[in-house]
Amino acid sequence: MLRRRNNGLSVYNPFREMDNFERHFFDDPFDFFSDGSIADFKTDITDEGDYYKLEADLPGFAKEDIHLEINDNTLTLSAERHSEHEDKDKHGKYVRCERSYGSFRRAFDISNVKADDIKAKYHNGVLTLTMPKKEIAPPSNGRTLEIE
């Protein structure tokens, strides 16, 4: 029989501490529940040529509980899911409770997007935004300046 001889002491691992630091350092500052824990809705943004496509997984949300707001060059996507049960009911009945309830919020820079032309649709738990790109002026032909 093999026995461990560390008497239940845990070994300090500085690399684990650095991994935890990096994981939390690069978190999105707008990506929080109202109670401060990390939100769990993910997005994909793809370049489709003349527009960007943003897809956000929001399963279990009613369309009415999803809000999009544009302020300056920032698009804020927020959603709120309400619990059907009160906390007092949860303690007595649940064997496991993993679904999240609360407010979810993400913010995105849209400085390269025509904000007035953004279109949104919600189908089967996925919010899809079509965001046309701003036209970038081609570089002007150079010219030579005379020195006086």
pLDDT of residue 145: 86
Element (H, E) at 16: helix 14-25
Q: Regarding predicted confidence, which is higher, 33 or 68? A: 68
Among residues 43, 29, 44, 37, which one has the least CA distance to residue 101? 37
pLDDT of residue 142: 78
Summarised one tens digit per residue, pLDDT across range 9-53 is 556 666 666 665 555 544 444 444 334 334 567 899 999 999 999
How do 119-123 and 74-81 pair as beta strands? unpaired
pLDDT of residue 37: 36
Q: Regarding predicted confidence, which is higher, 90 or 53? A: 53
pLDDT of residue 26: 46
pLDDT of residue 8: 52
Cβ proximity of 50 and 132 under 8 Å: yes
- 32 burial via Cβ count (<10 Å: 0-12, 13-18, 19+): middle
Summarised one tens digit per residue, pLDDT across range 93-140 is 777 766 767 788 899 999 999 999 999 999 999 999 999 999 877 777
pLDDT of residue 29: 46
Q: Render the burial of 119-132: b for 16+ CB within 10 Å, e for the rest.
A: eeeeeeeebebebb
